[in-house]
Chain A
Amino acid sequence: MTALIIRRIILIIPLLFIISIISFIIILLPPGSYVETYVENLERTGFLMDESQIKAIYKQYGLDRPAVVQYILWMSNFLLKGEMGRSFIYQKPVTEVIMERLPMSMAVTLISLAVTWLLAVPIGIYSALRQYSIGDYVATIIGFVGLALPNFLLALALTYLVFAKTGHAVTGLFSIEYKDAPWTVDKLFDLLGNIWLPILVIASAGTASLIRILRATLLDEKNKQYVTTARAKGLPEHKLILKYPVRVAINPLISTIGWTLPLIVSGEIIVSQTLGLETLGPVLLSAAMGEDMFLVGSIVMILSSLTVIGTLISDILLAWIDPRIRFDKVSI
């Protein structure tokens, strides 16, 4: 198995190269460039640009050179100096833009994940064990609705409800005074007052699907032969459940854990956008719409790499946990 892992890790490098090219192509697909966005933005407020100014902007952003050249420059900068170019919209190095938002992205995602697991696992187990009880039905319904309801609508509706009741707009993670202030207890309280809404929304979808998956897998497992055998042998109920079926049911969870890695960085994009959070999601969105070439390219690169790495981690974890895979009965 170690050989397999090493081979996978080596394969990642050409993979990442291909991904970087794809990221770049993605950005160049839409017609036009950042300059048009910039000029249009200005014109909307009445600032009419001169042709000479527009040409100067092209020059300033290096957009007067062909795409291949720009890609090569970008890649070489990244490999040699670890720089990812400058963002047009924010006019500073891409690394700075990303680092500004990364901590909050990670915080929101990790907390949401924790909440999701803390809620979903017990409810899922309970639901499977007490099948057809009231609790099960309630959990199932919540599960389905959470799955079907588009996240962003839930976000919007909740925001409005809070506003209607309290007159307070729960958008963004911080109020304006604390946005870039150093961390104090006050800032923490401000954050807590705002962060519960996005977490609620993001966790709801995840919890719902997790409950369903857990329930389904557990239901499958608990009717299997080995469980009946163990029960016949006198193993206490809770040990029975926790030691065997749950371990198998955790399988699908583990296999998706790798994919949470990119999510940690980007966060739930549409919900973040709707709620105006200070995470990377909205930045990615406006950068993509505004054709901020290097910013989008870099973020896409990062997210893709994390996905690839995450998949690898998932597979390794899965192999480690599930002996069937280890013994090559089922391949990764």
Chain B
Amino acid sequence: MSTASKPTFLTALSEHYIRWKRERSQRLQERLYYASQRELVWHAFKKHRLALVALIILTVLYTVSIGADFFAPFSPLNRFQNFNDAPPTRIHLITREGKLSWPFVYQTVRVRNTETFKYEYRENTTHRHIIRLLVKTEPYKLLKVIPIQHKFFGLSDRHVPLLLFGSDRLGRDVFSRILFAGRISLFIGFGGVMVTFILGSILGGISGYYGGLVDEIIQRIIEVLISVPNIPIWIALSAALPRDWGTIKIYFAITLILAVRGWTGLARVVRGRIISLREEEFALAAKAAGAGDWRIIFTHLLPAFISYLIVHITLAIPGMILGETALSFLGLGIKPPAVSWGTLLQDAQDITVLANYPWLLIPSLFVVLTILMFNFVGDGLRDAADPYASR
């Protein structure tokens, strides 16, 4: 500070602020010296804006799916009779008299045009149905455990259709169904990815570490698995599934089907890394110290590139989601009445639907969004975990 100028309140404030920031970054720098790898990665990750936003969005998606009972205004099986294939309900903010109001909807009446065979809708503007937050409903159990009596939003009159994304062929609310369907679509990745991870790292690790005959055999098995084209395997396996299995069992079977080829990619990469790492000094040191082979592989070598593994897995999940969507699209995956985004899209692959009821395609937006978010997070993780990147 120069003694010549009079210190105003503002300059004093800004100087305090600058000093605070400098000290904060100094403290952070010190922490970095002592930080664990996880903290380092998280710190770098936070800097990656896009990845951070993506992570937040994903968290929202998962929360909303798990708590679909609460967040969705209707149950996935709730039908509005005579209101099938209806477009999204218009939400109004201005009343008839021109006043501002909380968001509300009108009830609509519809009639079929016998010439064009299309439905025409007219709003009944006599009564406003206001969309309320935390609207009261019949008591139910959230996640089958927590007794609760509200839903996140809705109308007080449960019989008036509030269709944010329109209704499907049987008159069910698409928005609610998408939320419930998320439970299957968002989690189906995890089972398969677990299998991929375990199989891939174990087999890849063995293959890379031991080399020789074991390596050859495993490599050839991988080649065989990769060679056979996807679709016949899917058709065959899905047709061979006994169909008196419940939805849960089929769901797991499908993740296994998807994982059958998934682990090969990871195994190859793991093998490559282990081969280059096994001659490194730290590995040789462990060997000299008398560590057993398995211990070397799993406690020393693999953790060296665990960040890469994590990134790989994060990027594998969208592949699983896409796979499930494709399977259901072909009619091979989850079957109704269970809901996944894939089965919701099955209804949408009709040309008539595209032409007249395009809102049935909205689940694809969720698929795209999820995949994109996972990709951003994966990218962010990869950048953050890369030990060679400059900070």
Are chains A and B touching directly in their complex (CB below 8 angstroms)?
A: yes
Q: Is the CB of A307 within 8 A of B364?
A: no
Q: Is the CB of B228 within 8 A of A145?
A: no
Task: List chain A residues, Cβ under 8 A from B60.
Answer: none
Task: List chain A residues, Cβ under 8 A from B322.
Answer: 150
Q: Is the CB of A148 within 8 A of B375?
A: yes
Residue A67 lies at the interface, judged by CB distance under 8 Å to chain B: no
> How far is A147 from B235 in the complex, measured between Cα atoms in Å?
24
Contact flag A26-B364 (CB < 8 Å), given A148-B371, A153-B345, A270-B329: no
Q: Is the CB of A26 within 8 A of B233?
A: yes
Task: List chain B residues, Cβ under 8 A from A270.
Answer: 231, 326, 329-330
Residue A234 lies at the interface, judged by CB distance under 8 Å to chain B: no
**Which DSSP category, helix, strand, loop or mixed, fits chain B's interface?**
helix
Q: Is the CB of B232 within 8 A of A284?
A: yes
Task: List chain B residues, Cβ under 8 A from A118.
Answer: none
> How far is A101 from B218 in the complex, measured between Cα atoms in Å?
35
Beta-carbon contacts under 8 Å, A1-28 to B: 11, 15, 18-19, 22-23, 26-27
Stretch binding the partner chain, chosen from B2-10, B163-171, B290-298, B347-355: B347-355
Task: List chain B residues, Cβ under 8 A from A266.
Answer: 229
Beta-carbon contacts under 8 Å, A135-184 to B: 144-145, 147-150, 152-153, 156-157, 159-160, 163-164
Q: How many residues of A contact B (CB 8 A)?
A: 44
**Which DSSP category, helix, strand, loop or mixed, fits chain A's interface?**
helix
Task: List chain B residues, Cβ under 8 A from A185.
Answer: none
Q: Which of B235, B237, B355, B364 is A150 in contact with, Cβ under 8 Å?
A: B364
Residue A31 lies at the interface, judged by CB distance under 8 Å to chain B: yes
Q: Is the CB of B272 within 8 A of A330?
A: yes
Residue A98 lies at the interface, judged by CB distance under 8 Å to chain B: no
Beta-carbon contacts under 8 Å, B367-387 to A: 367-369, 371-372, 375-376
Stretch binding the partner chain, chosen from A125-133, A190-198, A245-253, A296-304: A296-304
Stretch binding the partner chain, chosen from B81-89, B193-201, B219-227: B219-227
Contact flag A304-B227 (CB < 8 Å), given A26-B232, A150-B326, A150-B364: yes
Residue B18 lies at the interface, judged by CB distance under 8 Å to chain A: no
Task: List chain B residues, Cβ under 8 A from A285.
Answer: 231, 235, 330
Residue B361 lies at the interface, judged by CB distance under 8 Å to chain A: yes
Task: List chain B residues, Cβ under 8 A from A145.
Answer: 368, 372
Task: List chain A residues, Cβ under 8 A from B233.
Answer: 26
Nearest-neighbor residue (CB-CB) of B329 within chain A: A152
Q: Is the CB of B224 within 8 A of A153?
A: no
Q: Which of B226, B232, B372, B375 is A307 in contact with, Cβ under 8 Å?
A: B226
Q: Can you list, as one digit per residue, whether each of A278-298 has a CB less than 8 Å from chain B (1) or not (0)?
A: 000000110011000000100
The residue among A30, A285, A330 with the most chain B CB atoms within 10 A of its own CB is A30
Task: List chain B residues, Cβ under 8 A from A11.
Answer: 220
Q: Is the CB of A289 within 8 A of B235?
A: yes
Q: Is the CB of B224 within 8 A of A19?
A: yes
> How far is A163 from B237 in the complex, measured between Cα atoms in Å?
36
> How far is A264 from B39 in the complex, measured between Cα atoms in Å?
47
Q: Which of B236, B329, B375 is A29 in contact with, Cβ under 8 Å?
A: B236
Residue A45 lies at the interface, judged by CB distance under 8 Å to chain B: no
Q: Is the CB of A149 within 8 A of B368?
A: yes
Residue B325 lies at the interface, judged by CB distance under 8 Å to chain A: yes
> How far is A303 from B229 in the complex, measured between Cα atoms in Å?
7
User: How far, in Å, is B273 (CB) from chain A's closest CB?
Assistant: 10
Task: List chain B residues, Cβ under 8 A from A27.
Answer: 232, 236
Q: Is the CB of B220 within 8 A of A23?
A: no
Task: List chain B residues, Cβ under 8 A from A331.
Answer: 275
Q: Can you list, as one digit per residue, whether each of A252-281 has a CB less than 8 Å from chain B (1) or not (0)?
A: 000000000010001001100010000000
> How far is A288 from B229 in the complex, measured between Cα atoms in Å?
12
User: How far, in Å, is B113 (CB) from chain A's closest CB?
Assistant: 18
The residue among A18, A150, A274, A288 with the most chain B CB atoms within 10 A of its own CB is A150
Q: Which of B240, B355, B369 is A160 in contact with, Cβ under 8 Å?
A: B355
Q: Is the CB of A148 within 8 A of B367?
A: yes
Q: Is the CB of B326 within 8 A of A152?
A: yes
Q: Is the CB of A311 within 8 A of B229?
A: no
Q: Is the CB of A284 within 8 A of B318?
A: no
Q: Which of A30, A147, A156 is B375 in contact with, Cβ under 8 Å?
A: A147
Task: List chain B residues, Cβ under 8 A from A201.
Answer: none
Q: Can you list, as one digit per residue, whether each of B320-362 has a CB less than 8 Å from chain A (1) or not (0)?
A: 0010011001100000000000000100110100110000010
Q: Is the CB of A311 within 8 A of B226?
A: yes
Task: List chain B residues, Cβ under 8 A from A319.
Answer: none
Task: List chain B residues, Cβ under 8 A from A22.
Answer: 224, 228
Nearest-neighbor residue (CB-CB) of B222 within chain A: A311
> How far is A144 from B375 in the complex, measured between Cα atoms in Å?
8
Q: Which of A15, A19, A156 is B349 in contact with, Cβ under 8 Å?
A: A156
Q: Which of A150, A274, A308 is B325 in contact with, Cβ under 8 Å?
A: A150
**Extra 19 A-B pairs, beta carbons < 8 Å, given A156-B349, A330-B276:** A15-B220, A22-B228, A29-B239, A30-B235, A30-B240, A31-B239, A148-B372, A148-B375, A152-B326, A153-B349, A159-B351, A269-B231, A274-B349, A285-B235, A304-B227, A304-B228, A307-B226, A308-B223, A331-B275
- Could you list 13 A-B pairs, sorted by A, with CB under 8 Å? A144-B375, A148-B372, A150-B326, A157-B354, A159-B351, A269-B231, A270-B330, A284-B231, A285-B231, A288-B236, A303-B228, A304-B227, A330-B272
